């Protein structure tokens, strides 16, 4: 029995990722985020089999997700490590980076708000706050997504 519906949800994610029309909607990443994505994958491959040995096994650079019986070689995902992370866990994943004030900040604010508006309109709470955070000097700054993986299964 799968009380957390891991197998069901991972199969729904696989369906979304493998659909060429849906994939651009569920997985996006800035090229500059690749190192952070790799770091996230390394953390997952270290932590998951130790914490959940009944669900995950890692050997020879590959991770096996036992409930779905699928094995992924990490090197095959060198171009999209965060996508691999998302394919092996139920959660949606976002890597964020701070954008300091300046022209990029203004552009990032508009882009982040437009992206969230689109996501909210299709899938979420339209009243949710914009992606602003308060910096230590009490000035707002924007956190933008460096890489995003949503399943929207």
DSSP 111-128: HHHHHHHHHHHHHS-TTP
Q: How confident is the model at residue 2 (pLDDT cuts 50, 70, 90)?
A: confident
- pLDDT mean over 46-57: 96
> What are the C-alpha distances in Å from 43 to residues 13, 118, 121?
21, 31, 33
Residues 11-48: pLDDT tens digits?
A: 998 998 999 988 888 888 888 889 989 999 999 999 99
How far is it, in rounded angstroms, from Cα 96 to Cα 41?
15
Least confident among 63-72, 100-109, 120-129? 120-129
Residue showing tokens 């437009």: 114
Q: How confident is the model at residue 116 (pLDDT cuts 50, 70, 90)?
A: low
pLDDT for res 29: 83
How far is it, in rounded angstroms, from Cα 145 to Cα 98?
9
More confident position, 107 or 47: 47
Collapsing DSSP states into helix, strand and coil, what is residue 46? Answer: helix
**Radius of gyration from C-alpha coordinates of the chain:** 17
Q: pTM of this prediction?
A: 0.71
Helices (H) and strands (E) in the chain, counts: 5, 7
- pLDDT mean over 92-117: 67
Q: Phi/psi at 70 (nearest 5 deg)?
A: -120, 140
pLDDT for res 28: 82
DSSP code at position 1: -
């Amino acid at each position: 029995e799968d009380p957390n519906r891991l197998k069901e949800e991972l199969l729904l994610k696989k369906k979304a990722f493998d659909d060429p029309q849906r994939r651009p909607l569920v997985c996006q990443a800035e090229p500059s985020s690749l190192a952070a994505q790799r770091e996230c994958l390394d953390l997952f491959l270290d932590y998951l089999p130790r914490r959940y040995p009944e669900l995950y096994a890692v050997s020879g650079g590959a991770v096996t997700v036992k409930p779905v019986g699928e094995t992924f070689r990490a090197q095959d995902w060198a171009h999209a490590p965060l996508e691999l992370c998302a394919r092996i866990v139920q959660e949606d994943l976002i890597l964020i980076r701070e954008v300091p004030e300046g022209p990029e900040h203004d552009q990032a604010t508009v882009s982040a708000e437009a992206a969230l508006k689109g996501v909210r309109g299709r899938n979420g709470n339209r009243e949710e706050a914009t992606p602003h955070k308060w910096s230590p000097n009490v000035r707002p700054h924007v956190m933008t997504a460096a890489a995003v993986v949503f399943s929207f299964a």
